[in-house]
Structure 1
Amino acid sequence: MIVNAQETAEPRTYVDHILEHWHKDEDAEALVQGAQRLTRGEARRRLFSLGHALRRIGLVPGDGVGLFLANRVDSVLVQLAVHLIGCRVVFLPPEPGPGELAALVEQSRARAVVTDPLFAARAADAAGRSVHAPVLLSLGPCAQGGTDLLALAAECPEERPDDVPAPGADEAVTVLYTGGTLGRPKLAAHSHRLYDAFVDLAQDDPEHSRTGFFPTMTPGADRVLAATLLTHASGHLTSIQALVTGSALVVLPEFEAGAALTVLREERITATMFVPPMLYALLDHPECEPGTLPALRRIVVGGAASSPSRLQQAVEVFGPVLSQGYGQSEALGIAAFGAEDLASQAARRPELWGSCGRAISDTEIEIRGEDGAAALPVRQVGEVCVRGETVMLGYYEDPERTAAALHDGWLRTGDVGYLDAEGYLYLVDRVKDIIVTGSTSDNVYSRVLEDFLLTLPGVRNAAALGVPDEDYGEAVQIFLATAEDAHIDPDAVGAAVTAELGDLYTPRRTILLDRLPTTKVGKVDKKALRAAWTGAALDAP
């Protein structure tokens, strides 16, 4: 095998680390999606040809490339190819309507938009509204007339593209959208330092492996399942975790508990990541029993607040394999709790089931008051602020929001929580999700309420919202997804809440549903709940 000098040089980016693995043991599996199975050699050659194809349509280093993609092997390779040729990845969210999606394409200054054929009509509409007139590329033929990127790549060389400059220290190489569950998505821009930090966490000393984000991997032996969206921070992080450690990455096209169990079992998955509603759905599946997944040794739970009672249930079913990770699009890694620590420490201090761990390496966490100026004492509730290499450069092309979120390198996360004396972080709410109610306008923390509701028999998932109230400004309204054979009395639920949490938390209404709506990335969609059950619906019996 002949490789050029650039391929054998000291690695400069995370893609170089991936290619180091893909040049060894070329017949080992690298990427899997159903019947599609690519070896390391095949993945490397396809990556190079995709890089040449992107160049052939006129992209140059520094250009933005919007990715509007489904979960598939080629989506992984396209994202890598964009970085390989020095361009900027812009992950486009699946949730927004046409106008908002077009605005994000415009704001990101994308020179091209790569779409899955399933999304081609929406992508073509968004690209057509942009004054930058981005080129429309499709992973396969589509009726909207975009260039078939896969067909173009098949005509291109399978050697690594050369003459790619190293990214600048403060150059945005990846732009992630925020979840958008509480408002219009924003574009969080990150430099290559984010990837340098994760390479260090994944490959340095074993102590880092206990953070929860990067379980200890055995190159060539571990198999990682990407179950969340690859274009979301959680799916992107999972795929990077697998690839930089030389593990095989198995892509789940769409999450459904039964299908996920089948893939976990048949592909002998050793590590994966779920957002909490995914984990809950898996636990509620009738085929999910102790011993079902003997190969599984790490489940990272993150992306949204987790219920302590559900986490304990997961350990009972899967064993001591559960890790927690806390981050957001603005700071992909903030705190984490490794499986070994969670199993041992929670036995000593049960309250740690409600913690999301301690700051990851080279990251600082402070809890600050409303003015954001000074750190609060231990166990005092305030806004979580963080500083470190995983923090974004800012919101792309959005200086006003950047100034509001970042100050002297510190990010105001918008999450509310506290630190204990040992540095463990506990989240109690989102700033915008706090319910302010009662005669003295006190705070009701929806996370606290939801955690309690999930301890009640027959409750599979729960959400709490503040709805308009003439007397108190807001009133507590709860939504419960119940088990199929459960008989839940809303009045009894309200009484249980009052007895446990006090009058302030007593729900004005309790709405029973078969399931709670979720966003495309698996989080409970509180915007959808608010739209469906407030206003006129508030007066429903």
Structure 2
Amino acid sequence: MERASDYTLADVLRRNATVHGEGIAFRGQDGAVTHQAHWRRVQHLATGLQRLGIAQGDRVAILSKNRIEYVELLGAAAQLGAIMSAINWRLSAAEVLAVLENDTPKAVLVEDEFWPLLDLALARTGPDLEPITVGIRREGFQCLDDLYIDDGPPPSTPLSADAPLLLIHTAWTDGRPKAATLSHANLISNAIQLQGAWKLGADDVHLCCLPLFHSTSISLTLAVQLAGGACVLTRQYEPQEAASLVELHRATVLGEFAPMLDGLLSACDDAPSRLRSLRHVCGLDSPETIRRFEAACPDATFWAGYGQTEVSGLATLGRFRDAPGAAGFPLALCAIGIEGDDGRLVPDGEAGEIVVRGPSACLGYWQRPEDNARLLRGGWLHTGDSGRIDANGRLWYTGRLAAKELIKTGGENVYPSEVEAVIRQHAGIAEVAVIGVPDAQWGESIKAICVPARTPPPAQEEVADFVASRIARYKRPRFVVFADSLPKRPDGSADREQIRKLHG
């Protein structure tokens, strides 16, 4: 039931159209749109999607690089009460098929360069899925341009702020897609926290270099949008282009993962003043790169934080320079706790699982009730990460729980079990264990320790390419080594702790 307190993303866009009407909302490869024009285009697209049969609760997927139509689809879904599924375009065709079968969208918007990723899905799903081309026309298929319809009042759907709006896919723990379900309230509350922490206003400009299928990218975009500012959408990150866009549009906000910032600084070695408009940069990077950035841009701040898709982005934030290595303080609407093995919160200073509570905690995983029972037990969202809180209230991230076993490489999450399952399909491999190893450029790299099934063993490159041919290339092991055997626990499972000691 709709309540007087319900406030949705459509309400944000409607307000911006009035309060910040002639200000620039988005810049893309085809030009710029104002807040007023953005709201108008969102309503037109909502009308077109409704006539296509999209109704409240239906999913609409998108497979596209950053472009203005991407954020317009999110707004149109908000207007209709529909749910947008943001698909990682780095996935393989088989993985895209799995995502579509998991999310069951009625339509999928696809840029031309990603059309081959639909091959398996079109053969499998048949008429239940409506492919819509983006940016180019294909004979026999609907084009997104034709769905912007202005010949009547736009649709209006009474909606709860707790209604689901966005599916963002996290790492696959069991070979199946796992989509964090984010509501209007989740996304808006996260944006409000960032807007307040950084004192964002209508003059702020977000250079959106991270792909919009990432929660960090969506989070920063909505924070600046909520403030009435502008977002410059880049198709892909290229340091020289990014430096030029910062300088041209006086960008103030940037989200990044290593090695993006290092590349940006190197592109401006001869003229660091090109980056002087930047005020807030957040992400994951090395202390050396962060200090180099703050030396080049003395009026800017690099913000360290802790977050994940399941909390709609960031849950903590703090100036890196104040406590290098810390993840900052809880954001204004986030409660952070540390839970022990017995399910109780532990005192400050003790390590345990990081748990989060507040309006930005997700609704759960799409169609995964058993996982949700574990994720949201006891009134807290369980992150699967370990940490401690010091006497000042700062969070210190200390690692991942053994059950999580996550590798984070260049901002992407990879579960070892998924890569191991693929490598086991190779005829030349008898056993395998996959671990993450430190990488100065990417944060972590994937390393596969393999027991060969034959002599001589397959070439290292052959094993790595075997993985890349079946799942997303970012899950390809950077290192492949061979061993006579793998350390085992008493139950016969791989002893990852010993494997890390030997091969990490």
Say whether the fold is shared (TM-score over 0.5): yes
Q: Partner of 2:88: helix, strand, or coil? A: coil
TM-aligned CA deviation for residue 465 of structure 1: 6.0
Q: Distance in 2 between matches of 1:434 and 1:79?
A: 29
Cα gap change, 1:225 to 1:288, in 2 (>3 Å):
farther
Q: Partner of 2:281: helix, strand, or coil? A: strand
Name 2:391's counterpart in structure 1: 421
Alignment counterpart, residue 190 of structure 2, candidates 198, 212, 234: 198
1:330 paired with 2:310, answer yes
Q: Distance in 1 between matches of 2:224 and 2:159?
A: 23
TM-aligned CA deviation for residue 123 of structure 1: 3.1
Matches within 5 A, 1:512-523: none
Q: Given residue 367 of structure 1, which amino acid in structure 2 is its aligned partner?
A: I
Q: Given residue 166 of structure 1, which amino acid in structure 2 is its aligned partner?
A: L
Matches within 5 A, 1:113-512: 113-123=108-118, 125-130=120-125, 133-143=128-138, 145-153=140-148, 156-157=149-150, 161-167=154-160, 169=162, 171-179=163-171, 185-198=177-190, 200-201=192-193, 209-210=196-197, 215-219=198-202, 221-285=203-267, 287=269, 290-301=272-283, 305-319=284-298, 320-339=300-319, 342-343=320-321, 346=322, 352-369=323-340, 371=341, 373-431=343-401, 432-433=404-405, 450=438, 454=440, 460=441, 463=444, 468=449
Question: Contact 1:68–1:116 at 8 Å: present in 2 too?
Answer: yes
Structure 1 length-normalised TM: 0.72
Question: Contact 1:18–1:246 at 8 Å: present in 2 too?
Answer: no
Question: Contact 2:85–2:103 at 8 Å: present in 1 too?
Answer: yes
TM-aligned CA deviation for residue 276 of structure 1: 3.0
Question: Contact 2:333–2:359 at 8 Å: present in 1 too?
Answer: yes
Q: Partner of 1:78: helix, strand, or coil? A: helix
Name 1:349's counterpart in structure 2: none
Question: Contact 2:450–2:481 at 8 Å: present in 1 too?
Answer: no
Q: Given residue 216 of structure 1, which amino acid in structure 2 is its aligned partner?
A: K
Give a deviation string over 1:413-446, Cα, whole Å, max 9, x none: 12222221112112233334489xxxxxxxxxx9
Q: Given residue 400 of structure 1, which amino acid in structure 2 is its aligned partner?
A: E
Question: Contact 2:318–2:329 at 8 Å: present in 1 too?
Answer: no
Q: Given residue 312 of structure 2, which amino acid in structure 1 is its aligned partner?
A: L
Cα gap change, 1:425 to 1:10, in 2 (>3 Å):
closer
Name 2:476's counterpart in structure 1: 528
Q: Partner of 1:392: helix, strand, or coil? A: coil
Give a deviation string over 1:51-98, Cα, whole Å, max 9, x none: 111111111111111121211111111221111111011111223322
Q: Distance in 2 between matches of 1:77 and 1:174?
A: 13
Q: Given residue 38 of structure 1, which amino acid in structure 2 is its aligned partner?
A: V
- Does 140-149 or 184-193 show the bigger shift? 140-149
Give a deviation string over 1:323-364, Cα, whole Å, max 9, x none: 22321111124533344xx44xx2xxxxx1101111112322
Q: Distance in 2 between matches of 1:271 and 1:398?
A: 35
Q: Distance in 1 between matches of 2:484 and 2:158?
A: 56
Structure 2 length-normalised TM: 0.77
Q: Given residue 116 of structure 1, which amino acid in structure 2 is its aligned partner?
A: E
Question: Contact 1:383–1:417 at 8 Å: present in 2 too?
Answer: yes
Q: Partner of 1:292: helix, strand, or coil? A: helix
Alignment counterpart, residue 61 of structure 2, candidates 66, 72, 93: 66
TM-aligned CA deviation for residue 264 of structure 1: 0.8
Give a deviation string over 1:432-487, Cα, whole Å, max 9, x none: 4489xxxxxxxxxx99x84xx85xxxxx55536676599xxxxxxxxxxxxxxxxx
Q: Distance in 2 between matches of 1:286 and 1:27?
A: 32
CA root-mean-square deviation = 3.5
Alignment counterpart, residue 22 of structure 1, candidates 17, 20, 36: 17
Q: Partner of 1:94: helix, strand, or coil? A: coil
Cα gap change, 1:56 to 1:416, in 2 (>3 Å):
same
- Does 91-100 or 239-248 show the bigger shift? 91-100
When the two structures are aligned, how many residues end up with a matched partner? 436
Q: Partner of 1:272: helix, strand, or coil? A: strand
